[in-house]
Amino acid sequence: MLSKRMQEVLNEQVKIEAQSSQVYLAMASWAEIQPGIDNITAFFYRHSDEERMHMMKLIHFINDRGGFAVIPALVQPTLTFPSIKHAFNELLNHEIHVSESINKLVDIALQEKDYATHNFLQWYVAEQVEEEALARTLNDKLEMIGDEKSGLYLFDRDILNVSVPGGEE
Ligand code: OFO
């Protein structure tokens, strides 16, 4: 059984994962109307889907443990970006913020001596390590490319084979 506090903070995480899904969905929609970046567009759509899955996993966990998962209202995400680089930079910053939030949850699970939730959260801890690493790599590549069109062409080609971490449930 979840404590009231644990339930509250897990529900806050439901909101963060839902918001992440919206943030990447907005990036995908913006990318879709930019010329020639179809694979970047697909990457953002995939990322949005993964975040929804992270939210669903939390919802089931809360309800399975005797709590009540609250479906949250969301904030409108950023809709347009000055460049692809800006969008990926926002993605990295967003993932850093999510990692901090997961770490706080882990702390609280330990304070509450809730070892089942602590165990459940380890999946998210590992997930955030991978997601941040991927976001950093992509940002580094974009930094190297600068404004070069040919570099962006190759970046878009290569991202086709990049899988977003944490796809499996
Ligand atoms: Fe939910 O993994 Fe990123 O944010």
End-to-end CA distance of the chain, in Å?
Answer: 22
**136-155 per-position pLDDT tens digit:** 999 999 999 988 889 999 99
Q: Which atom of ligand 1 is nearest to the CA of 54?
A: 1
Give yes or no for a contact between 74 and 18, defined as CB atoms under 8 angstroms apart.
yes
Read off the pTM.
Answer: 0.95
Where are the domains positioned within the chain? Answer: 4-70+80-160
pLDDT band at 163, cuts 50/70/90? Answer: confident
Ligand 1 in reach of 98 Cβ (< 6 A): yes
C-beta 48 within 6 A of ligand 1: no
- Among residues of the chain, what percentage have pLDDT more than 70? 98
Q: Dump pLDDT digits (tens) for 12-25.
A: 999 999 999 999 99
Spacing, Cα 154 to ligand 1 middle (Å): 26
According to CATH, the superfamily of the domain at 4-70+80-160 is Ferritin, core subunit, four-helix bundle (1.20.1260.10)
Does the pLDDT of residue 9 top 80, yes or no? yes
Among protein residues, the one whose CA lies closest to atom 3 of ligand 1: 95
What span, in angstroms and rounded, lies between the C-alpha atoms of 101 and 91?
A: 15
